[in-house]
């Protein structure tokens, strides 16, 4: 069963690795046989290489098109699940995808799911890029950043 504190830690580390373009750090967050899925693709992949391939595509697109792509921590709400830790991948503050990772206590993450259809999501709340995930509803930032966005359907 997924452990909320461990999922939060994986999410925070994922954001750091993504924004620092550190694929080795990112891969180390996951089990060797991690299940990797994307909502708009019927196939499911297994292994860290599948995550690396997806992430590298975002980085290459960012560089080639000169579009800043950033990962931020957030909390996602589904109908039956509230405030689940997630990673949002943003291009110029516009959401491209939301990643949910699951991990058990004391273990690496065993699941990496990309959610591309936000109509299935009740809400996603994101933090500023320099912050770690927070659970309180604080809309102020000590570094005077604006809140990135609040996506609700």
| Residues 35-86: tens digit of each pLDDT | 999 988 888 999 999 999 999 999 999 999 999 998 888 878 777 777 788 8
Q: Is pLDDT of 7 > 80?
A: yes
Residue 1 CB contacts under 8 Å (≥ 6 apart), including other chains: 104
Round to the nearest angstrom and report the end-to-end CA distance of the chain. Answer: 28
Could you tell me which CATH class the domain 4-152 is placed in? alpha beta
* Out of 14-18, 103-107, 129-133, 141-145, least confident range: 141-145
* Closest CA relative to residue 46, chosen from 28, 26, 29, 32: 32
Highest mean pLDDT among 74-78, 87-91, 106-110: 106-110
For residue range 112-145, what is the model confidence (pLDDT) as tens digits? 999 877 666 666 766 654 444 443 444 444 433 4
């Amino acid at each position: 069963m997924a452990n909320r504190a461990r999922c939060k830690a994986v999410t925070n580390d994922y954001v750091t690795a993504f924004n620092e373009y550190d694929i080795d750090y990112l891969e180390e967050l996951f089990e060797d046989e991690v299940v990797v899925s994307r909502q708009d693709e019927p196939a499911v992949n297994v292994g860290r290489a599948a995550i690396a391939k997806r992430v590298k595509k975002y980085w290459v697109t960012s560089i080639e098109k000169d579009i800043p792509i950033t990962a931020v921590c957030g909390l996602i709400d589904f109908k039956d699940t509230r405030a689940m830790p997630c990673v949002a991948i943003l291009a110029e503050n516009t959401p491209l995808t939301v990643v949910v990772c699951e991990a058990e206590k004391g273990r690496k993450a065993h699941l990496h799911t990309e959610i591309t259809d936000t109509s299935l999501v009740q809400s996603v709340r994101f933090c500023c890029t320099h912050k770690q995930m927070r659970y309180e509803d604080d809309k102020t930032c000590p570094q005077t950043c604006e809140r990135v966005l609040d996506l609700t359907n």
